[in-house]
Amino acid sequence: MVRSFFHRHGKFQPVAPDDGRAEQKIPDDLWVKCPRCQELLYSKQLEQNARVCPKCAYHFRLRARERIFLLADDGTFHEWDKDIAPRDPLGFADGSGTYAEKLVTTRRKSGETEALVTGRATIGGHRVALAVCDFDFLGASMGSVFGEKLVRAIERAGDRNIPLLTISASGGARMHEGMFSLMQMAKSVAALARLGNAGVPHISLLTDPCYGGVTASYATVADVILAEPGALIGFAGPRVIEQITKQKLPEGFQTAEFLLQHGMIDLIAERTSLRTTLTTLLAHYGRAADHQAMLNPAPRHRPSEVALTLTEQGVVAAHVPALSLAGRSVSHAEPSPHHE
């Protein structure tokens, strides 16, 4: 059930998450200390157990491609929109430099062009569209490219009638892109509204940490919401809440278990049985769709009204009909000034 992927393929380097949790880093040496139970763990053994502590079940963080590798059937993952990359629409600069510079550094450090990896795969033989956060890319903050890649994945899921699986870990909206980032919340949820109207399921997996604009948009607009054990999930961050309210946070505040108890998520999904859980869920939806099709062979599915033609390689040939809003006639084929 658990795929000892790091060991078996050696393809993905164990990468230290850039999240300030020094305890979580998996160093090059052979032993790593579990931040929860303090047990010294043999790195390879930890990797074989999907980076779940064999003693206390602490779930170490994973990179986007590690997650995909863990879940997708061998060789079935085809990435979408790999080449779409961020710009700096605001000319943003803070005390430590410009956003444009930060993008270069982050890309080099993380090996990714953006914080979201999307594509299609099968899981347990079931087709699925995937959108997976990479926390090492600017804390998987949600900016224009994150939103655009996500929405393209949602639209492809809708057009092809295949379930959507999102895996989130994010600090929230990307401040460097200002209101462009905030609007990705509306954009992604609007795309999910259409996916829902087409009767295509969205399964959302929340992992540590999941905050802000992601928790308050696509990641909680789902037919089934799963969370990894112990993951911290919330809208406002714990430090902000403590500073503003001057109150001590309750025990277990914002953990997945806390959210389950408060009715916000469907299920806590252990990583070591996650493929089984997802396969069962996908089988339920697939069986239901097949049964509907058997009862009424006519197509149930309505294609999206804004047609996008996308190839596997992420080359976009989008056709958005001219908008009827007065004075506007914009399409993706003719990018507006702030799209390069």
Partner 1 sequence: MSDQVDDLVSAHSTALIGVNGGPPAVTGTAPRPTAWDRVKLARHPERPRTLDYIERLTTGFIEMHGDRSAGDDQALIGGMAQFGDRTVMVLGHQKGRATNENIARNFGMPRPEGYRKAERLMTHAAKFGLPVVSFIDTPGADPGISSEERGQGVAIAESLLTMADLPVPLVAVVIGEGGSGGALAIGVADRLLMLENAIYAVASPEGCAAILWKDAAKAPEAAETMRITAPELLRFEIIDAVIPEPTPAHLAAEATIKAVGAAIAHHLDALESAYLRGDPRGGDRLRADRYAKFRRIGSWRDGPF
Q: Which does 36 bind (CB under 5 to 8 A by kind): partner 1, Zn ion, none?
A: Zn ion
Q: What mask, x for binding Zn ion by CB under 5 A, covers residues 32 to 51? A: --x-xx-x------------
CA 272 – CA 2 distance, rounded (Å): 5
Tokens encoding 225 = 């919401």
Contact between 80 and partner 1 per CB under 8 A: no
Options 37, 40, 56, 249; binder of partner 1; rule CB under 8 A: 249
* CB 178 to Zn ion: min, Å: 40
Q: Which of 178, 229, 230, 270 binds partner 1 (CB under 8 A)?
A: 178
Among 73, 266, 270, 301, binds partner 1 (CB under 8 A): 266
Counting residues that bind partner 1 (by CB under 8 A) gives: 109
User: Could you tell me which residues come within 8 angstroms of residue 280 by beta carbon, excluding any fewer than 6 positions away?
Assistant: none
Q: Select the residue interacting with partner 1 from 38, 105, 280, 311 (CB under 8 A).
A: 280
Nearest in space to 268 (alpha carbons), one of 216, 237, 233: 233
298 binds partner 1 (CB under 8 A): yes
- Please list, in sequence order, all residues whose beta carbon lies within 8 angstroms of the beta carbon of residue 243, skipping any fewer than 6 positions away: none
Does 312 bind partner 1 (CB under 8 A)? Our answer is: no
Which residues 223-242 are close enough to bind partner 1 by CB under 8 A?
A: 223-224, 233-236, 240-241
CB 24 within 8 A of CB 58: no
| CA dist., res. 157 & res. 147, Å (int) | 15
Q: Kindly state the smallest distance separating residue 39's Cβ from partner 1, in Å.
A: 30
108 is written with which tokens?
A: 């080099």
* CB neighbour list of residue 314: distance below 8 Å, 6 or more residues apart: 79, 80, 81, 82, 83, 84
Least distance in angstroms from the C-beta of 233 to partner 1: 8
Which listed option, partner 1, Zn ion, none, makes contact with residue 179 (CB within 5 to 8 Å by class)? Answer: partner 1
Q: Indicate which of Zn ion, partner 1, none lies near residue 75 (CB less than 5 to 8 Å, by partner kind).
A: none
Own/partner pairs, 254-260, CB within 8 angstroms, 24+ separation: 255/230, 255/231, 256/206, 256/227, 256/228, 256/229, 256/230, 256/231, 257/229, 257/230, 259/227, 259/233, 260/227
Kindly write out the interface string for residues 9-48 of this chain, putting x where it contacts partner 1 by CB under 8 A and - elsewhere: ----------------------------------------
Q: How far is the CB of 145 from Zn ion (least distance, A)?
A: 36
Q: Would you say 57 or 260 has its CB closer to partner 1?
A: 260
User: Cα separation of 151 and 161, whole Å?
Assistant: 15
Spatial distance between the Cα atoms of 167 and 112, rounded to a whole number of angstroms = 16
Pick from 50, 53, 200, 206: which binds Zn ion (CB under 5 A)? 53
